[in-house]
Structure 1
Amino acid sequence: MASVMRSCIQSILKLVNCLIGMVGIAMVLYSIWLIRVWEREMGGFPFFEDDDDVTPWFIYTFLGLGVTLSVITCFGHIAAETANGCCLYLYMLFIFLLLMLEAGVTADVFLNRDWEEACSLTKNSLFDSHLMDFPKDPSGSFDQFKGFVRSNFELCKWTGLSLVSVQVSLSLSLSLSLSLIFPASH
């Protein structure tokens, strides 16, 4: 009976990691699409450019987060398969750090109503202000997105909070139960 329950928890943890991994892969694919759009609109790749007028930090951030999510989910699959205590605890640490990052961004967006203007830094700071501004969007899609978020702020807020809480609670609770209740036999 215990082995069936352990196998079920391992399978559910793998499924949760698979879903999180799909989000990570989607983020990587979206950032690749953004790179192609950047190349088409600006006439060059956003990497290794000396032009300081526009820095596509959002592409770098999205790509980095997508790769990070993919690596964490790969590590989660390994931890779920082996049910090794060390792997599971390290996976829980990665998920906890991801939760702290998501909580910081969520708190900034929800507590600061002018979050899109707050992304720019002052001229007296270490960075130039144009490095942190949202880029100009000639298509107007970003303005449409901002309008949608503003008009449906409560829906967006609760949807985002629900997704983050389900993601983290399932990952943490399943990996914790797998490591504590069913330790791997050596």
Structure 2
Amino acid sequence: MVRRQSREGRGLGWPACCLGFLLKLLAFLQAFAAVSALIYAAWILSRWARHHQLHLRDLLSPDLWFPSLVMAAGIFYCLLLLAGYLAAEINTGCCLCFYTIPAMAMMLLEAALAAHLALNQHWIQELPEDRTGELHNLLSFIHNNLDLCKWAALAIFATQVISSFFHM
């Protein structure tokens, strides 16, 4: 690791070190959600592959839209968190800005999606048919464990907000 120096010749000091550690810790905590999405998508695809021939080109087929969407969201979120981790390590305003803008856009997208799901009672009818059946399984799990899912979503969103606050 390269030791950075301030203008006076000393290190950046403990406040910058603590801020960098806190930003990395928050990125690490958020990474659990991203990696969980990737593992869930891989699990759906492995279950689908047991009963059907699965090739790489099949990921773009309409039958597998749900696991493909979950995997794409997980990959995007992992890349965003990697950028946040690197920005916390470099600890310059420019790098932090390059992470903060897409992170804020992601949080606004998540809030808009949550508002759409809360306000539109017929949102499930707008989705294409999920031939894997996992969307139905996920919705029944969320319905059966609604309190746990609310707290998990709130914890993830709070971690994102705190991380964005410290990145500014």
Q: Deviations over 1:153-186 (max 9, x none)?
A: 5x3674255234312211111111xxxxxxxxxx
Write the letter of the residue equivalent to 1:32.
A
Alignment of 1:23-34 (within 5 A): 23-34=33-44
Deviation at 1:70, TM superposition (A): 1.0
Paired residue for 2:124?
Answer: 116
The SS at the match of 2:167 is helix
Give 5+ residue unaligned stretches, structure 2.
Answer: 1-11
Deviation at 1:148, TM superposition (A): 4.7
Paired residue for 1:65?
Answer: 73
Question: Within 2, Cα distance between the matches of 1:61 and 1:32?
Answer: 12
Identity across the alignment (%):
20
Paired residue for 2:57?
Answer: 48
How many residue pairs are counted as aligned between the two chains? 156
Question: Within 1, Cα distance between the matches of 2:89 and 2:71?
Answer: 27
Give the TM-score normalised by structure 2.
0.79
Q: Deviations over 1:124-164 (max 9, x none)?
A: xxxxxxxx223353xxx7545434544665x3674255234
**1:46 and 1:56 in contact (8 A); partners too:** no
Matched, 1:169 2:161: yes
Question: Within 1, Cα distance between the matches of 2:138 and 2:102?
Answer: 30
The match for 1:133 among 121, 129, 144 is 129
Q: What RMSD over aligned residues (CA atoms) do the two structures have, in Å?
A: 2.6
Give the TM-score normalised by structure 1.
0.72
Question: Within 1, Cα distance between the matches of 2:163 and 2:91?
Answer: 13
**1:72 and 1:91 in contact (8 A); partners too:** yes
Paired residue for 2:151?
Answer: 159
**1:95 and 1:171 in contact (8 A); partners too:** no
The SS at the match of 1:55 is helix
Question: Within 1, Cα distance between the matches of 2:126 and 2:148?
Answer: 19
**1:99 and 1:168 in contact (8 A); partners too:** yes
> Cα 1:9–1:98, aligned 2, differ >3 Å: closer, same or farther?
same
Question: Within 2, Cα distance between the matches of 1:19 and 1:40?
Answer: 33
Write the letter of the residue equivalent to 1:171.
S
The SS at the match of 1:135 is coil
* Structure with higher helix content: 2
Alignment of 1:138-153 (within 5 A): 143=136, 145-150=138-143, 153=146
Question: Within 2, Cα distance between the matches of 1:28 and 1:151?
Answer: 23
Paired residue for 1:84?
Answer: 92
Alignment of 1:2-17 (within 5 A): 3-17=13-27
> Cα 1:93–1:65, aligned 2, differ >3 Å: closer, same or farther?
same
